Chain A
Amino acid sequence: MKRFAQIAALSLAATTLPALAEQMTVVSFGGAYGDVQQKSMLEPFMEKTGNKLLFESYSGGVAELKSQVESGNILWDVIDMEVIDVERACSEGLLEEFPMDTLPPGDDGTPAKDDFSPAALENPCGVAQIVWTILYAYNTETIGGGHPSSMADFFDTKKFPGKRALRKRPQVNMEWALLADGVPADKVYDMLTTEEGQARAFAKLDSIKNDIVWFDSWSQAPQLLNDGGAVMVQSANGRFFDAIQKDKKPFVMVWDGHVYDLDVWSIVKGSKHKKLAEDFIRFATGSKPLAAMPSIAYGPTRQSSYAYVDKDLVSKLPSAHLDEGMHASSVFWADYGESLGEKFNEWLLK
């Protein structure tokens, strides 16, 4: 019995001893995006600190996060999220707040507060790392005659016959419909809060309804454009950029009416490695790790990163096209995401 107690005490001590290296799970979107994060953020961090990071991918949304937090079975520690989701997850208490004042200054010495673009630190639950955008691209081999150049062209099936592929959700599509209908970018969200504005957007979408192919994940988009499933396809700019750069696809991106947004690193509420997670975010949003993101056409959120970025790439980032597009409003979508989601489903089924 005594021996048993000794063993028990020993093994208990072994498990409660402060672990020298921690193992933490980081979750992000896969693809080329995930590869760059792995190389520029996770690997250097592991090397520097000796901790082990597991890297998993997911397809966005808050469902998995919510079920982990609600059941108390936290498997993830750090997540890469779209701002629309962060806004919701943060206000529902699914994320830890991040101490913004602990962010290190840029490599050129600029304090973090001035180095980051203001929008990047707006949400208390995370630090934005990249500016990305949603736009459409066409395939020069399947588009036929002329070349679409504006949002109105996307909705013009007479001039450009053929299928268009959109992600199956109201976000961005409602904005695009109003933009194509001639609403100026700064009036779009005001219009969408009214019944008439929503009806106008749906009417515009109606005009191409029979020509739309719907998909669920960004990774399907370049595929649809490639195999001729659609002649114009909506996706994140990095997805197209990667296909053009790496696979030499004959795709052309159209910047008119693009809807840009940020992506955020945040920490799951109740994470067992909160301190390490904060360390990781401080590291990953440093000037140098962020400077790797433009290689897949996503713009870093801090100014000091641009010193490391190839001048050719800078012109291909969403930041070089800001005046052609509009900023996605996470506040609007927190307010109307659910009701428009229902109306959108109804419209789809009509």
Chain B
Amino acid sequence: MSGVELTQAEKRTFDRTQRKARRTALLFVAPLLLFIVVSFVLPIGTMLFRSVYHPAVAELIPATLQKLKAWDETSNTIPEPDALQVFAGELKTLVENKTFGKLAEEINRSSPGASSLIKSTARKMSRLDDAELQSKGDQALLDAGKQWSNPNLWRSIKKAGNVFTGAYYLTAVDMERNGEGRVVSRKTQIYTDLYVKSLKIALYITLLTGLIGFPLAYYLANAPERTANVLMVFVLLPFWTSLLVRTTAWMALLQTNGVINSVLQSLHIISEPLELLYTQFSTIIAMTHILLPFMILPLYSVMKGIDPSYFRAALSLGAKPIPAFMRIYLPMTTPGFSAGALLVFIISIGYYITPALVGGVDGQMISNLIAFHMQSSNNWELAAALGSLLLVLILAMYWLYDRLVGVSNLKLG
């Protein structure tokens, strides 16, 4: 037992002041926490949820789905007549509520062509009275279109009725579940290739910014202060300029009759204009330019902190300049380089505006297809699944990076 021991009362006072201090501290960070929750955690959570939660069809035709439970979809038959009758009845209700289009849209997603069939059938069912629907609803349904005798359509309906589904994730990796429920690859192959391509483009950009940024940062860090400050403005000025302005500038430079082609042609280096805009090349070059400051700034701040005497000491101890640079100086810049690389890589893999404007078809990245499903095809669930996969991919890269380099090695400024 050591000499000094707190009394119960003293301990309580101490705890109380501690609690109070913690509450005050929490109060200070509360706005930030709230901001993070509202602007970051909630949207991402909603996105993750949206990619698997899909109640639309289950809400539209609950009784039919109940009946379909008994139907064995692996058999090559259509559901029992009473299930068909229930479905015909529900279609009539959907017409009355004007929600049959929603059902048509949902089923059409897995059975292209079903949209017009469901809409026209629903209109036909709405003309029958309830007694007719109950007795002859199944026949009326089968008469409305020969597609209704196809078990595949019923499989789609049953599948779309699942409230929780992994189907969008399967689509996002170019797979699907076939009639027997086995996972097979889809006929249309888009997304996996595009993920790989996006990774590749991001990697090229990271390497390019490193190659261009390293010598420049080195020069900035070692130049006299006056020169360094002036040059720094040249790094920061584009950084402060709007992204769109810089992208548009690249369009003006790269287009068929743009600055670069005109100059090369007037110098008679080329006779036909080069195809520069709307290619992967233009995506990479424009994004390298735009992301360069993210590489230079961390590198510069780290290099600024490296004591030049280490390098001099190595030289004076007899090391040749190049090995001395490689073994003494370079390792010390790693924190800056890895921070810059991580920033550039993560930002570029989710980039969207620049590829959309200058990339054409060739220079598209996965984010452009996510935007496509948000804006054009209206398939928000698939967009959410693609987005979630992108998030996982970035987290995986981060983990890999942590294993290889170590995150504690980061230095941002």
Measured CB to CB, the residues of A under 8 A from B are: 61-63, 66, 88, 90-93, 97, 163, 168-169, 193, 213-214, 216, 227-229, 331, 334-343, 345-346, 348-349
Find out whether the CB atom of A227 lies under 8 angstroms from the CB atom of B361.
no
- What is the chain A residue whose CB lies nearest that of B106? A92
Find out whether the CB atom of B112 lies under 8 angstroms from the CB atom of A214.
no
5 cross-chain pairs, A with B, having the tightest CB-CB distances, nearest first:
A91-B101, A339-B112, A63-B375, A348-B361, A335-B115
Find out whether the CB atom of A345 lies under 8 angstroms from the CB atom of B100.
no
- What is the chain B residue whose CB lies nearest that of A66? B378
Are A345 and B369 CB-contacts (below 8 A) given A66-B378, A229-B255? yes
In the complex, besides A338-B109, A343-B188, A346-B188, 5 extra interface pairs with C-beta distance below 8 angstroms are A93-B98, A214-B278, A331-B116, A338-B377, A345-B190
Find out whether the CB atom of A97 lies under 8 angstroms from the CB atom of B378.
no
Find out whether the CB atom of A88 lies under 8 angstroms from the CB atom of B190.
no
Which listed residue, A91, A227, A341, touches B377 by the CB 8 Å rule? A341
For the complex formed, measure the closest distance between the CB of B315 and the CB atoms of chain A, giving whole angstroms: 52
Some 18 contacts from A to B, beta carbons below 8 A apart, are: A91-B101, A92-B102, A93-B98, A93-B102, A169-B376, A193-B113, A214-B278, A214-B360, A331-B116, A334-B116, A335-B115, A338-B112, A341-B376, A342-B190, A348-B361, A348-B364, A349-B194, A349-B364
Q: B88-142: which residues lie under 8 A (CB-CB) from chain A?
A: 98-102, 104-105, 108-109, 112-116, 119
For the complex formed, measure the closest distance between the CB of A90 and the CB atoms of chain B, giving whole angstroms: 7
For the complex formed, measure the closest distance between the CB of B365 and the CB atoms of chain A, giving whole angstroms: 11
Residues of B within 8 A of A349 (CB): 190, 193-194, 361, 364
Find out whether the CB atom of B278 lies under 8 angstroms from the CB atom of A91.
no
B248 interface residue per 8 A CB criterion = no
B409 interface residue per 8 A CB criterion = no
For the complex formed, measure the closest distance between the CB of B125 and the CB atoms of chain A, giving whole angstroms: 16
User: Within the assembled complex, what's the spacing in Å between the Cα atoms of A93 and B115?
Assistant: 14
User: Within the assembled complex, what's the spacing in Å between the Cα atoms of A338 and B379?
Assistant: 9
User: Within the assembled complex, what's the spacing in Å between the Cα atoms of A335 and B101?
Assistant: 12
User: Within the assembled complex, what's the spacing in Å between the Cα atoms of A91 and B97?
Assistant: 11
Residues of A within 8 A of B356 (CB): 216
Are A91 and B255 CB-contacts (below 8 A) given A169-B376, A214-B278, A338-B108? no
Find out whether the CB atom of A345 lies under 8 angstroms from the CB atom of B372.
yes
Find out whether the CB atom of A88 lies under 8 angstroms from the CB atom of B361.
no
B66 interface residue per 8 A CB criterion = no
For the complex formed, measure the closest distance between the CB of A343 and the CB atoms of chain B, giving whole angstroms: 6
User: Within the assembled complex, what's the spacing in Å between the Cα atoms of A306 and B115?
Assistant: 37
For the complex formed, measure the closest distance between the CB of B176 and the CB atoms of chain A, giving whole angstroms: 12
B257 interface residue per 8 A CB criterion = yes
Which listed residue, A92, A335, A341, touches B113 by the CB 8 Å rule? A335
- What is the chain A residue whose CB lies nearest that of B186? A342
Q: B370-413: which residues lie under 8 A (CB-CB) from chain A?
A: 372, 374-379
For the complex formed, measure the closest distance between the CB of A332 and the CB atoms of chain B, giving whole angstroms: 8
B165 interface residue per 8 A CB criterion = no
Interface size class of B (residues with CB under 8 A): 35 or more
B256 interface residue per 8 A CB criterion = yes
Are A62 and B194 CB-contacts (below 8 A) given A229-B256, A335-B112? no
For the complex formed, measure the closest distance between the CB of B275 and the CB atoms of chain A, giving whole angstroms: 9
Residues of B within 8 A of A168 (CB): 361
Residues of B within 8 A of A341 (CB): 372, 376-377
Residues of B within 8 A of A338 (CB): 108-109, 112, 377, 379
User: Within the assembled complex, what's the spacing in Å between the Cα atoms of A214 and B355?
Assistant: 13
Find out whether the CB atom of B256 lies under 8 angstroms from the CB atom of A62.
no
B189 interface residue per 8 A CB criterion = yes
User: Within the assembled complex, what's the spacing in Å between the Cα atoms of A193 and B361?
Assistant: 26
User: Within the assembled complex, what's the spacing in Å between the Cα atoms of A107 and B193?
Assistant: 59
Find out whether the CB atom of B101 lies under 8 angstroms from the CB atom of A342.
no
User: Within the assembled complex, what's the spacing in Å between the Cα atoms of A216 and B374?
Assistant: 15
User: Within the assembled complex, what's the spacing in Å between the Cα atoms of A214 and B360?
Assistant: 7
Residues of B within 8 A of A193 (CB): 113
Residues of B within 8 A of A227 (CB): 255-257
Among A92, A97, A343, A345, the one with the most B-chain Cβ atoms within 10 Å of its Cβ is A345
Residues of B within 8 A of A88 (CB): 105, 378
User: Within the assembled complex, what's the spacing in Å between the Cα atoms of A144 and B195?
Assistant: 42
User: Within the assembled complex, what's the spacing in Å between the Cα atoms of A177 and B114?
Assistant: 25
Find out whether the CB atom of A62 lies under 8 angstroms from the CB atom of B361.
no
Among B99, B100, B112, B113, the one with the most A-chain Cβ atoms within 10 Å of its Cβ is B112
User: Within the assembled complex, what's the spacing in Å between the Cα atoms of A331 and B115?
Assistant: 8
Find out whether the CB atom of A91 lies under 8 angstroms from the CB atom of B189.
no
Among A61, A66, A92, A348, the one with the most B-chain Cβ atoms within 10 Å of its Cβ is A92
Residues of A within 8 A of B257 (CB): 227-229
Residues of A within 8 A of B360 (CB): 213-214
Find out whether the CB atom of A61 lies under 8 angstroms from the CB atom of B101.
no
Residues of A within 8 A of B376 (CB): 61, 63, 169, 341
User: Within the assembled complex, what's the spacing in Å between the Cα atoms of A208 and B332?
Assistant: 53
For the complex formed, measure the closest distance between the CB of B289 and the CB atoms of chain A, giving whole angstroms: 22
Are A214 and B361 CB-contacts (below 8 A) given A62-B378, A338-B379? yes
Find out whether the CB atom of A335 lies under 8 angstroms from the CB atom of B194.
no
Residues of B within 8 A of A336 (CB): 112-113
- What is the chain B residue whose CB lies nearest that of A63? B375
Which listed residue, B104, B113, B379, touches A91 by the CB 8 Å rule? B104
User: Within the assembled complex, what's the spacing in Å between the Cα atoms of A343 and B101?
Assistant: 24
Residues of B within 8 A of A340 (CB): 112
Find out whether the CB atom of B188 lies under 8 angstroms from the CB atom of A92.
no
User: Within the assembled complex, what's the spacing in Å between the Cα atoms of A62 and B113?
Assistant: 20
Among A93, A216, A331, the one with the most B-chain Cβ atoms within 10 Å of its Cβ is A93
- What is the chain B residue whose CB lies nearest that of A210? B275
Which listed residue, B100, B116, B189, B278, touches A335 by the CB 8 Å rule? B116
Are A97 and B190 CB-contacts (below 8 A) given A66-B378, A228-B256? no
Which listed residue, B115, B188, B374, touches A63 by the CB 8 Å rule? B374
User: Within the assembled complex, what's the spacing in Å between the Cα atoms of A97 and B189?
Assistant: 39
- What is the chain A residue whose CB lies nearest that of B100? A91
User: Within the assembled complex, what's the spacing in Å between the Cα atoms of A348 and B356?
Assistant: 14
Residues of A within 8 A of B256 (CB): 163, 227-229
User: Within the assembled complex, what's the spacing in Å between the Cα atoms of A169 and B379?
Assistant: 16
